Amino acid sequence: LTTPSDYTLGLSGLDAYFQGGPITISGGLEESPGAVYNGELLLKASSFTLSAIGSYTEVSGHPSLYAFLALDDPLGGPPAFFVLGIAAGFGYNRDLTTPPLDSLPTFPLIAALSDPSVFANDPAQQMEPYVQPVIGSDWLAAGVRFRSFELIDSTVLLVVDFGATFEIALLGTSTIQLPPANAPDATPFPLALAEMALEILFIPSDGTLQAMATLTPNSFVLDPACRLTGGFAFYLWFGPSPYAGDFVLTLGGYNPAYQPQPYYPQVARLGFNWPDDPITISGGCYFALTPSAVMAGGALNAVYQSGDLKAWFNAYADFLLEWRPFHYDISLGISIGASYTLHVIVTTTFTLELSVSLHLWGPPFAGTATIHWWVISFTVDFGNGGSPQTSTQIQWSEFSQTMLPQPQSNGASASAGLVGTTTQTQPISQVRVQSGLIQLNADNSWTVNAFTFAFTTETAIPADTLTLGVSKGSPYQPINIPPAQNDPPFATVGIRPMGVRQTASTHTVLVQMQNEQGVYEDYNPAAWIAAPVTNGLPQAVWSTQPAPVDQNGNPVVPSGTEVVAGMAVGTQIAPAPHAVTGVITLAANGFNPEGATPVPLPLNPNAAPVIIPSPPLNPATAFTQIEETVMAASVVTYRNDILQALVDRSIPVRTQVSLAVMAAKAPDIF
């Protein structure tokens, strides 16, 4: 008791309560192990009730906290968007982890929008798996719950993550019930209920856009035992992803004969399963689109079983169509059967089944039909069935009309900004301002900021050679634009539908300079900086390899990547920055901020300038270099020495500065 140094001061928790007029506030924070303060707050004002949860702690001397609040009261709106509640939250030095798609309905930040009471029982424990202290990880969230035409209840939460990678996520659930629960003709058990979980994720640094949705196990139709299944996905890859140029859209999965890429999303069949003793009925369907193929199909199955008697009916249809060279593969089938198990001395099962399957492919048209009866089976070939198939090659005229962008005649120029553009535009090659545009003039020319101006060219026909030409007229000497440093050569260009395995393709940009009198002048090519733009393009169109076939020469479902990576599809061009030379002279007597007494700078005024050659940072690795060096031990020592030198000269600065957040978030800060 008599040793003050043995005492510590701490906060075990705090309560808050206020009541004044129609407003009541109650809640508090409680200390948990690890000096973490978790709590909740309830605010009632008139008919509104707002609940909030939050947490605070410190990590390496930095504050780490999050808060989330929800208002569960109708706010009104049009019938299509009648707002039932809103929510908002943030995290500072707190990482937010979203759950798998099928767990979204129980995710606390989603569930609280529909029922704030989910936080009534230990909200800290509920949030712990999703929100953890992490230096440099910040996020904002905003949500809304709304009803559309008294039929569909939806909850949507937008999350922006400013952590090590910048991410935008849209999470939500949507439920439709027929008839609605509040309808006059509502029944104890609705005829149909569908609940869908949705996730859209945009990660620029990874080059991915992902959208997925799935029906939850709560979905049914006609009978709660008749469960609905199914999922949807749309994935798009762009630079810097290694799969740039690829995409996939699927509703219910893929054709059984198609082998999706390992990075393609897997979704459940759109279907139902209805076990209703003694009959079980199930079925499903699907649709998918990739850069090389489109597919669709479905199946229906029914099984009756009573004791030793069993009967069944199965039907299916699968369609697969590939781009030019056009190829289709269709499978159809139906089977009906029955079996009976007889128990006399020994157990014997008698089975009768009749099935018919049809397999069609082409062109040229070919196919087989298989008949199976319990005592006999045979297959019939028709068309060109059984003989090798050769891919039909098309000519350039057909290829350009069916597989390349067509001219526009609507008065809008696809290459706006080029002098002399016409309303009849072939958008195979286009020019776009990347930065520095001030205004688009009436004649489609550009007014730009010369210091930030940059433009890109885009071509629908990939190239194996990119060139930049600068001249006052023809002829001119083109300058090759090589691949970026450490990048492989541009992919070879082939045209699979035409049977062309390799072709030369050159994309040239010609820059001409006009003086004020409208006369073209010579312009130094070094005044422009050009870089290639590469992307992945569909293998079915631009591959150097022929379409895959089986041992008999029949086309088969393609395997391997869907795109040809590293194809040159344009250029990025900007004026070269003007070189600035000279010596910056510092006043020997220091500076005089706001009339303060001049103090000497820690520099020798008589020292000659020392030029240290230092190449500019590579933009692709600049952020990594900052993150790896800004808090390195040697750098911290140098920085602290500089700060201490300033303090020694009566310049008030902090001598200990932590740039841990910058080390974790350089891409976001810069």
Write the DSSP string, 63-86.
Answer: EEEEEEEEE-S--B--GGGEEEEE
Number of neighbours of residue 462 by Cβ within 10 angstroms: 25
Cα–Cα distance for residue pair 478/487, rounded to 1 Å? 22
Predicted local confidence at residue 474, as pLDDT: 53
Rounded mean pLDDT, 90-112: 84
For the chain, give the percent of residues with pLDDT over 90.
Answer: 1
Predicted local confidence at residue 406, as pLDDT: 67
Cα–Cα distance for residue pair 528/511, rounded to 1 Å? 9
Beta-carbon contacts of residue 586 (< 8 Å; ≥ 6 apart) = 601, 603, 605
Phi, psi of 286 (to 5 degrees): -155, 160
Q: How confident is the model at residue 100 (pLDDT cuts 50, 70, 90)?
A: confident
Asked whether residue 401 carries a pLDDT value surpassing 70, the answer given is: yes
Q: How confident is the model at residue 551 (pLDDT cuts 50, 70, 90)?
A: low
Rounded mean pLDDT, 209-215: 88
Choice between 77 and 646, residue whose per-residue pLDDT is larger: 646
Contact 367, 331 (CB under 8 A): no
pTM for this predicted structure: 0.65
- DSSP letters along 341-388, please? EEEESEEEEEEEEEEEEEEEEETTTEEEEEEEETTEEEEEEEETTTS-
| CA-derived radius of gyration, the chain | 34
Asked whether residue 215 carries a pLDDT value surpassing 70, the answer given is: yes
Rounded mean pLDDT, 27-49: 78
Contact 172, 198 (CB under 8 A): yes
Query: Coil, helix or strand for 490?
Result: coil
Predicted local confidence at residue 607, as pLDDT: 60
Beta-carbon contacts of residue 4 (< 8 Å; ≥ 6 apart) = none
| DSSP E strands, 124-269 | 131-133, 139-148, 152-162, 166-178, 192-203, 208-215, 220-221, 223-229, 231-237, 247-251
Cα–Cα distance for residue pair 292/355, rounded to 1 Å? 32
Predicted local confidence at residue 424, as pLDDT: 35
Contact 414, 422 (CB under 8 A): no
Choice between 494 and 75, residue whose per-residue pLDDT is larger: 494
Asked whether residue 12 carries a pLDDT value surpassing 80, the answer given is: yes
| CA 28 to centroid of chain Cα atoms | 39
Give the residue among 461, 459, 452 at the shortest CA–CA distance from 434: 452
Rounded mean pLDDT, 507-512: 80
DSSP 8-state class, residue 319:
E
Predicted local confidence at residue 588, as pLDDT: 35
Predicted local confidence at residue 670, as pLDDT: 82
Predicted local confidence at residue 411, as pLDDT: 38
Q: Quick: pLDDT tens for 343-395.
A: 877 888 888 888 898 888 776 777 888 888 877 888 888 776 554 444 567 77
Q: What's the full length of the chain, in residues?
A: 670
Contact 655, 647 (CB under 8 A): yes
Q: Looking at beta carbons, which pairs linking 258-264 to residues 24 or more positions away fall under 8 Å?
A: 258/288, 258/293, 258/295, 258/320, 258/557, 259/557, 259/559, 260/290, 261/561, 261/562, 264/235
Q: Residue 108 corresponds to which amino acid?
A: P
Contact 91, 133 (CB under 8 A): no
Predicted local confidence at residue 328, as pLDDT: 78
* Greatest mean pLDDT range, 61-65, 72-76, 298-302, 541-545: 298-302
Rounded mean pLDDT, 504-514: 80
For the chain, give the percent of residues with pLDDT over 70.
Answer: 81
- DSSP letters along 246-295, please? -EEEEES---TT----TTS-----EEEEEEETTEEEEEEEEEEE-SSEEE
Predicted local confidence at residue 661, as pLDDT: 87
Predicted local confidence at residue 54, as pLDDT: 82
